[in-house]
Amino acid sequence: MWGIIRQSAGNRGLSISKSQFRCLVQGARSYSSASKEMTVRDALNSALDEEMSADPKVFIMGEEVGEYQGAYKITKGLLDKYGPDRVIDTPITEAGFTGIAVGAAYHSLKPVVEFMTFNFSMQAIDHIINSAAKSNYMSAGQISVPIVFRGPNGAAAGVGAQHSQCYAAWFGACPGLKVLAPYSSEDARGLLKAAIRDPDPVVFLENELLYGESFPVSAEVLDSSFCLPIGKAKIEREGKDVTITTFSKMVGFALKAAEILEKEGISAEVINLRSIRPLDRATINSSVRKTNRLVTVEEGFPQHGVGAEICASVVEESFEYLDAPVERIAGADVCMPYAANLERLAVPQIEDIVRAAKRACYRSTSMAATG
C-alpha cells in the first residue's frame, strides 16, 4: 500500500467536492439526545413512504415488493397505500426490469428498483453501468437518470459464496454512480430520501443484518423534510489516537472496538463513511491529520477495495502526517464459505479491529485473539 503513486497530490486540496446538495446539510450533527427508537427497516420504509407520497413520479419495482410486502419487508404496506401501479411486482428478470426502470427514468419518472439482494444486481449490471451511469455523460447532459437501486448488500449469514459479498467497491469504481451505505436508522432515512430526490443514479447499499436493529432517532430525523447530504461522512465517535474509517454494519463493530480500545487507553475516532462515492476525503484526511494513524475496515475483499482507495487518498494528501503504516481490515480474499466456523474467519471481527488499532498505535497485540 506504500507503493501508490502520489499523483497530482499538489493540486488536490482538502475541500469537499462542490456537488450541489439538494437538501439541507445536517452533516455530522449527532442526534444522540433523541428519545425515540426506530429500526433500520422502519426508517427505510418510512422514507420510501414519504417520498412516494410527496412525489407521484416516484414508484418502486422489484421482486416481491408488493403482495409479499418485500422479501425483507422493507416495502411493507406500500402496496396497500399506493396500489399496484406504483408498487410493482416484477417477474424474476433483473436485466429486464432494471432496463425498464432506467428507460422510465430517462423520461423523468423516479424509479426505486429493489434488488432482493445486491447479489442479483449482477444480472442487471449492464443497465446499472451502461444505461444508468453513462447516459448523462453520453448525452452531454441532455438525459439524466434519477433512479435508485437499493437492497441488502454484504455478508449475510450461512448463505454461502453466491449470496454473501459486498459490492461497495465494485459500484464505487464507476463514474456516473453515487454510492451510499447507511448504518443507522438516521442514515437510512436521511440518505434514502436524498437518493430518491437526487437527479442521478444512486446505488443504495443496505445490510440485511441491520434491518432489525433499533437506533435512537430525534424529532428532526423523523420530520418528513429530513435529508442527509450525499458525499458527507459522519464522525460517529471522536477520538485522538487513531482514525477508524468504515461503513454499514462494520460501523457498529468499529464502535464496539473503540469502547474496548478506550479501556486500554486508546482513543479511537470512528468515521461512518455513509457515502462511498463521492468519498468524503476531507473528513477522512482531517481526522488522520489529527490522529496520525489510520485503520480502514470493510467486509468486502481487500484488493482494490474501499480501504485501498482511502489509503491512497491519505497517502496522497496526508502522507507526512502518518506515524504508522495504514492498517487495512477487510474480508478474507476468498469466496464466502458456508461452514459457520470458516464464515466467521472470512469476515472482520471486532477483535481484528482492536488488534489492528493497537498495532497502529505500536501496542503489543496477542496473536491468539482470533478463534
Partner 1 sequence: MAFSAKIIQPLPLFTTRSDNKNINNLSSPFVGSTYKLRLPTPIISSSRPHFGSASVVAVKSEVIKDSKKPKSDASSNLLITKEEGLEVYEDMILGRAFEDMCAQMYYRGKMFGFVHLYNGQEAVSSGFIKLLKKEDSVVSTYRDHVHALSKGVPASQVMSELFGKTTGCCRGQGGSMHMFSKEHNVLGGFAFIGEGIPVATGAAFTSKYRREVLKEADCDHVTMAFFGDGTCNNGQFFECLNMAALWKLPIIFVVENNLWAIGMSHLRATSDPQIWKKGPAFGMPGVHVDGMDVLKVREVAKEAVGRARRGEGPTLIECETYRFRGHSLADPDELRDPAEKAHYAARDPITSLKKYMVENNLATEAELKAIEKKIDEVIEEAVEFAEESPAPSRSQLLENVFADPKGFGIGPDGKYRCEDPKFTEGTAQV
Ligand X SMILES: Cc1ncc(C[n+]2csc(CCOP(=O)(O)OP(=O)(O)O)c2C)c(N)n1
End-to-end CA distance of the chain, in Å? 27
Question: In the annotation, is 94 catalytic?
Answer: yes
Tell me: does residue 92 bind ligand X (CB under 6 A). Answer: yes
**Minimal distance, residue 90 CB to ligand X, in Å:** 10
Task: Choose from partner 1, ligand X, none: what does 342 bind? Cβ within 5-8 Å by kind.
Answer: partner 1
Tell me: does residue 80 bind partner 1 (CB under 8 A). Answer: no
Tell me: does residue 96 bind ligand X (CB under 6 A). Answer: no
- Catalytic site residue from 64, 163, 262, 351: 163
Here the cell at position 15 is: 475541500
Give the distance from CA 81 to its chain's centroid.
28
Tell me: does residue 219 bind partner 1 (CB under 8 A). Answer: no
**Minimal distance, residue 64 CB to ligand X, in Å:** 7
Tell me: does residue 120 bind ligand X (CB under 6 A). Answer: yes
Tell me: does residue 120 bind partner 1 (CB under 8 A). Answer: yes
d(CA 80, CA 304): 43
Question: In the annotation, is 67 catalytic?
Answer: no
Tell me: does residue 261 bind partner 1 (CB under 8 A). Answer: no
**Minimal distance, residue 336 CB to ligand X, in Å:** 15
- Which range touches ligand X (CB under 6 A), out of 116-124, 254-262, 279-287, 289-297? 116-124
- Which range touches partner 1 (CB under 8 A), out of 8-16, 62-70, 237-245, 264-272? 62-70
Nearer to partner 1, 173 or 332 (CB): 332
Nearer to partner 1, 64 or 262 (CB): 64
Q: How many residues bind ligand X (CB under 6 A)?
A: 6
**Minimal distance, residue 124 CB to ligand X, in Å:** 9
Task: Choose from ligand X, partner 1, none: what does 138 bind? Cβ within 5-8 Å by kind.
Answer: none
List the Cα angle 74/75/78 in 5-degree steps: 150
Strands 294-297 and 242-246: parallel
> What residues numbered 249-278 form the site for ligand X, per CB under 6 A?
none
Tell me: does residue 116 bind ligand X (CB under 6 A). Answer: yes
- Which range touches partner 1 (CB under 8 A), out of 65-73, 129-137, 215-223, 244-252? 65-73
**Minimal distance, residue 277 CB to partner 1, in Å:** 22
Q: Which residues are identified as catalytic? A: 94, 163
Residues that bind partner 1 (CB under 8 A): 63-64, 66-68, 71, 84-85, 88-89, 91-93, 95-96, 119-120, 122-123, 156-163, 302, 328-335, 337-342, 345-349, 352, 355-356, 367, 369-370
Could you list the residues that contact ligand X (CB under 6 A)?
Answer: 63, 92, 94, 116, 120, 123
